[in-house]
Amino acid sequence: MTSPKKLHIKSYGCQMNVYDAQRMADTLAGEGFVETAEADDADLVILNTCHIREKASEKVFSELGRLRVAKDEAARRGRQVSIAVAGCVAQAEGDEIIRRAPVVDIVVGPQSYHHLPTLLARSRAGEAAVETEFPVDDKFNFLPQPKAEAIRARGISAFVTVQEGCDKFCTFCVVPYTRGAEVSRPAEKIIDEVKRLADNGVREITLIGQNVNAYHGEGEDGRTWPLGRLLYRLAEVPGVLRLRYSTSHPLDVDDSLIAAHRDLKALMPFVHLPVQSGSDRILAAMNRRHTASDYLKIVERFRTARQDIAFSSDFIVGFPGETECEFTETLALVTEIGYAAAYSFKYSPRPGTPAAEMRETVSAPDMDERLARLQSLIDSQQSAFNRAAIGSTVEVLFERAARKDGQIVGRTAYLQPAHVMAPPDIIGQVKPVRIESLERYSLLGELAPIGALTSPQPAASLSPTGA
């Protein structure tokens, strides 16, 4: 018997890439590939890349430099190694990648990776293997279902792509160019995928999309369903204990989504709702199409529907022309909302986007200084939010054994890691935990009796500055 071929996938960027990497592995499992954690023993290495900021794209080329050495070494020993570049850099740069890094055999965009087996055969036959057109066939109709063992090996929490692409064209962003136009998968396909995951031990489903709440797929009844309607349906799937979704755009928050938060216990009260800036002038220049006060009103609608809801966000500092005063409007918005967590980035000009043509750039030292101030405000909010959990009893979904012997780690509704001493059979279950202390970002606690849950703490009452 020949030994199985080995596959190593390294993913960068967002959750969509994590999901895509799993589906690539499922596709190549049908070709006899098994995954390996080591790039050096692999027969096929896939870099699943991200183009969102310059640093993210440049990482790929330094990794390719390292892989060239490994590939040459393998060739000297008579072993042929193939290197593929997938994901958003592949889509954006196409065969330019092979010109810059001839070590690459295959270039495949995020909408075409169901063709990986054919591309691999083509490259092994010495033909060009570049595919970055947006194909007419829908990859989801061709991707095989993951095997039951693969689902179990991936753990109790899974991503499911429900929507891809983006039509918003924020002026700084490459996603509409790398992922293409917004498309929603039919509800029936999503429900089947979720049932299969739940039948194989998955207990938490995160629906993902570049702009997930723009979901408008065909429903089981033939009508167009918004995300809220889909969430109601998925909450009925046996075994699904928790539902989440990411990433949302404020403009696409509709009544069905707010109602789902009001009605569905399984829908976690934690929403990633990027705002990018607190300045109306910058928001307009970014083409976000809402103001800071619109955003505050949307947050209020969520809070009215579910008092224990908390938010996270993304911010860009140093967008072209951002003044000190406009930046302080971002700080003011953050203070007003009180986030449980947030990501902040220095603006990075991306080729082909309208903002990259804007002349009034912000200097590097100003950007660094603004980023540091924003991150320190966000950190203090996050610590205050985490400290507020101490002394309360909250539900935790247990995921896996922790590094420390006898400890099991899970997550709260707000994705805070929580550690308890407990038997491993609680993995996959939701249990009440009394939170006793906080160690950096992790909560430590003890299993508590059923019924000991603390009533939800209104997120708005948390001190936003950590005071």
The binding site for ligand SAH (CB under 6 A) comprises: 52-53, 172-173, 175, 210-211, 247, 249, 274, 276, 314, 316, 345, 347-348, 350
Answer with the entry of ligand F3S, ligand SF4, ligand SAH, none that 350 interacts with (C-beta below 5 to 8 A by kind). Answer: ligand SAH
Q: Is 170 in the site for ligand SF4 (CB under 6 A)?
A: yes
Give whole-number Cα distances, 21 to 38, 53, 98, in Å. 15, 20, 21
Q: Of 382, 416, 377, nearest to 396 (Cα)?
A: 416
- The minimum distance between CB 249 and ligand SF4, in angstroms, equals 5
Q: Of 140, 144, 120, nearest to 130 (Cα)?
A: 120
Rank residues 315 and 414 by Cβ distance to ligand SAH and give the closer one: 315
Answer with the entry of ligand F3S, ligand SF4, ligand SAH, none that 11 interacts with (C-beta below 5 to 8 A by kind). Answer: none
Answer with the entry of ligand SF4, ligand SAH, ligand F3S, none that 185 interacts with (C-beta below 5 to 8 A by kind). Answer: none
Rank residues 81 and 374 by Cβ distance to ligand SAH and give the closer one: 374
Answer with the entry of ligand F3S, ligand SAH, ligand SF4, none that 17 interacts with (C-beta below 5 to 8 A by kind). Answer: ligand F3S
* Chosen residue from 47, 52, 275, 396 binding ligand F3S by CB under 6 A: 52
Strand 5-11 to 44-49 pairing: parallel
Separation CA 291–CA 276 (nearest Å): 11
* Chosen residue from 7, 9, 14, 394 binding ligand F3S by CB under 6 A: 14
**Widest distance between CA atoms in the chain:** 69
Rank residues 169 and 441 by Cβ distance to ligand SAH and give the closer one: 169
Residues whose CB falls within 8 Å of the CB of residue 69, separated by 6 or more in sequence, listed in order: none
Answer with the entry of ligand F3S, ligand SAH, ligand SF4, none that 348 interacts with (C-beta below 5 to 8 A by kind). Answer: ligand SAH
Q: Of 39, 31, 180, nearest to 112 (Cα)?
A: 180
Rank residues 178 and 312 by Cβ distance to ligand F3S and give the closer one: 178
From the number of C-beta atoms within 10 Å of its C-beta (0-12, 13-18, 19+), residue 1 rates as exposed
Stretch of residues binding ligand SF4 (CB under 6 A), selected from 71-79, 85-93, 166-174, 427-435: 166-174
* Cα 13 from chain centre: 8
Give whole-number Cα distances, 127 to 42, 100, 109, 344, in Å. 21, 18, 18, 43
Rank residues 179 and 229 by Cβ distance to ligand F3S and give the closer one: 179
Size of the site for ligand F3S (CB under 6 A): 14
Answer with the entry of ligand F3S, ligand SF4, ligand SAH, none that 281 interacts with (C-beta below 5 to 8 A by kind). Answer: none
Sign of the torsion angle spanned by Cα atoms 311, 350, 95, 59: negative
Residues whose CB falls within 8 Å of the CB of residue 114, separated by 6 or more in sequence, listed in order: 27, 137, 139, 142, 143
Q: Is 343 in the site for ligand SF4 (CB under 6 A)?
A: no
Separation CA 164–CA 176 (nearest Å): 10
Binding region for ligand F3S (CB under 6 A):
13-14, 16-17, 50-52, 87-88, 174-175, 178-179, 210
Binding region for ligand SF4 (CB under 6 A):
166, 168-170, 173, 175-176, 210-211, 249
